[in-house]
Amino acid sequence: MENKLNTSKTKSQAKESRFWRRFKKNKLAIFGAAIIIFIILTAIFAPLLAPYDPAFQNYDKLLEPPSFEHPFGTDDLGRDLLSRVIYGSRYTLLVGIGVVIIVAVLGSILGFLAGYYGGKIDTIIMRMVDVMLAIPALVLALAIAGALGGGIWNVIIAIGAVGWTQFARLVRGEVLRIRESEYIQAARALGAGDFKIISKHIAPNMMAPVIVYITLYIPSAILWAASLSFLGLGVQPPYPEWGALIANGRSYISFAWWIATIPGFAIMLTVLGFNFLGDGLRDALDPKMAKNI
């Protein structure tokens, strides 16, 4: 147990180092973090890493199988698939980050309002969540993306608009739990206002579950965005988004398997990375949540 005389600063430092100790022990989590760093670096340095211009069409080399010259082969227009997959990482990360920002902002605001103020506000927001959950998220995202038209920003908006519900529930639950605790009552008794209670006392205490949820939500956002693009309602060709690459390769799958299969491995690797990292963060931040899953 920590010494009760410790200042809050050293307490939080102790918490931090405990987190790192636990996190570092988890090999899968470190592996996941390494995958994500690798993907981020690929996205940033795409122009340096890609051997060819991803849009360059070489009509002498249509549908070439993987070779030394084109490690991932070429597509129906003679474009180098490796270069396209490398550039595609940018779309995937952008979608992951964009969606999470929308989900976190919308979900936090609505979850806070519902949990902190309760009453009618809570009822209205939670009924809204119930209604949204009755429509499969992917179906709703498809319909919204279709109504807005394609393009990466509309994909982000569509997925963000349907994804906030579970997050709002999580935030609400946490706020309810913390709101009733004694130190919040003490703060209120000392005359702290709503803003101070929320920003100083409630928000910091719910960071752990929020961070875990967000990390584990990114893979879903990535999979949905890829699905939307695959169905032709997301990022449109010629942009080398991974889902769109697979959709394009689908027509050639019987004689040029590489176009549809290789970008799928890229999606899977990214999603695996976030899943490993999220699991590791959960175990390290809150051992009680870890259990045996």
Partner 1 sequence: MLQYILRRTLYIIPILLGVTIIVFSLMHISGDPVKLIYGTNLTEEMLQEKRHELGLDQPIYSQYFNWVSSAAVGDLGVSIRTHANVWDMIRSRIGATLELTIIALFITLLVSIPAGIISAVKRYTVFDQIARIFALFWVSMPYFWLGLILMLIFSINLNILPVSGRGGPLWTWEGLKYIILPSLTLGLPPAALFMRIIRSNMLEIINEDYVRTARSKGLREYNVVIKHAFRNALISVVTLLGLRIPWLFGGAVITETVFAWPGMGRLLVDSIMKRDYPVVQGVVLIIAILVVLSNIIVDFAYAYLDPRIRYD
54 touching partner 1, by CB under 8 A: no
For residue 280, the minimal CB distance to partner 1 (Å) is 12
Q: Residue 76's closest CA among 252, 266, 265? A: 252
Sequence-ordered list of residues with C-beta below 8 angstroms from that of 145, at least 6 positions apart, any chain:
154, 155, 158, 228, 233, 234
Contacting partner 1 (CB under 8 A), which of 121, 177, 223, 252? 223
Does residue 36 touch partner 1 according to CB under 8 A? no
Toward partner 1, which CB reaches closer, 17 or 261? 261
Which residue in 57, 106, 231, 237 binds partner 1 (CB under 8 A)?
231
Q: Which of 83, 108, 227, 248 binds partner 1 (CB under 8 A)?
A: 227
Should residue 30 be labelled a site residue for partner 1 when binding is judged by CB under 8 A? no
Residue 211 burial (CB count, 10 A)? 14
How far is the C-alpha of 102 from the C-alpha of 93, rounded, in Å? 14
Longest CA pairwise span in the chain (Å) = 78
| By the rule CB under 8 A, 124 interacts with partner 1 | no
Distance CA 163, CA 86 (A): 27
Least Å distance between CB 15 and partner 1? 26
Residue 232 interacting with partner 1 (CB under 8 A) = yes
Q: Which residues contact 235 (CB under 8 A, 6 or more apart)?
A: 91, 150, 151, 152, 155, 225, 229, 241, 243, 244
243 binding partner 1? (CB under 8 A): yes
Read off the amino acid at residue 292: N
190 in Cβ contact with 147 (< 8 Å): no
Residue 142 near partner 1 by CB under 8 A:
yes
d(CA 225, CA 176): 33
> Does 98 interact with partner 1 (rule: CB under 8 A)?
no
Residue 250 binding partner 1, by CB under 8 A: yes
257 contributes a contact to partner 1 by CB under 8 A: yes
Contact between 121 and partner 1 per CB under 8 A: no
| Contacts with 154 (C-beta within 8 Å, 6 or more apart), sequence order | 145, 148
Among 40, 101, 147, 186, binds partner 1 (CB under 8 A): 147
- Which of residues 71, 78, 146, 237 is near partner 1 by CB under 8 A? 146
Q: How many residues does the chain have?
A: 293
Contact residues for partner 1, defined by CB under 8 A: 127-128, 130-140, 142-144, 146-149, 219, 223, 226-227, 230-233, 243, 246, 250, 253-254, 257, 260-261, 264, 267-268, 271-272, 275-276, 291-293
